[in-house]
């Protein structure tokens, strides 16, 4: 019987505490939107993050990354081709010089 009255007292005090908290917070709870949406989306940090994510999605949607990567590969390929062309030109000059020296010796 003593344990039951202690448990009942704890229950009543806890219920009273919950009711006291609800009464004190009632004005704030009344101001909350009824449809469940909060006004956190109107915060400038959240809007900034949403705009950045949208920009990233647009970049992927338009395949701008692929365009930049393929343009870079094209430029690098042209640079390598130019260097190879210069090397081949030097080799051909040396070969012509050696041929002309061999003809002069004969």
| Residue 105 to residues 19, 46, 70, Cα–Cα distance (Å) | 115, 84, 52
Is residue 104 situated within a structural domain?
yes
d(CA 47, CA 66): 28
pLDDT of residue 48: 87
Give a yes or no: residue 38 inside a domain.
no
Confidence of residue 50 (pLDDT cuts 50, 70, 90): confident
DSSP conformation class of 43 = S
For 13-25, what is each residue's pLDDT tens digit? 999 999 999 999 9
For the segment 63-88, the average pLDDT, to the nearest whole number, is 94
User: What band does 42 get if pLDDT is binned at 50, 70 and 90?
Assistant: low
Provide the residue range defining the domain that includes 29: 1-33
Residues 58 and 99 reside in one and the same domain: yes
Six token digits for residue 94? 């040396």
The C-alpha angle with vertex 52 and arms to 33 and 74, in degrees rounded to 5, equals: 160
């Amino acid at each position: 019987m003593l344990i039951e009255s202690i448990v009942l007292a704890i229950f009543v005090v806890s219920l009273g505490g919950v009711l006291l908290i609800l009464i004190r917070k009632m004005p704030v709870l009344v101001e909350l939107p009824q449809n469940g949406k909060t006004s956190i989306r109107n915060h400038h940090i959240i809007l900034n993050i949403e705009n950045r994510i949208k920009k990233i999605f647009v970049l992927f949607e338009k395949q701008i990354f692929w365009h930049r990567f393929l343009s870079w590969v094209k430029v690098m390929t042209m640079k390598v081709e130019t260097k190879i062309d210069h090397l081949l030109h030097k080799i051909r000059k040396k070969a012509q010089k050696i041929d002309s020296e061999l003809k002069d010796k004969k």
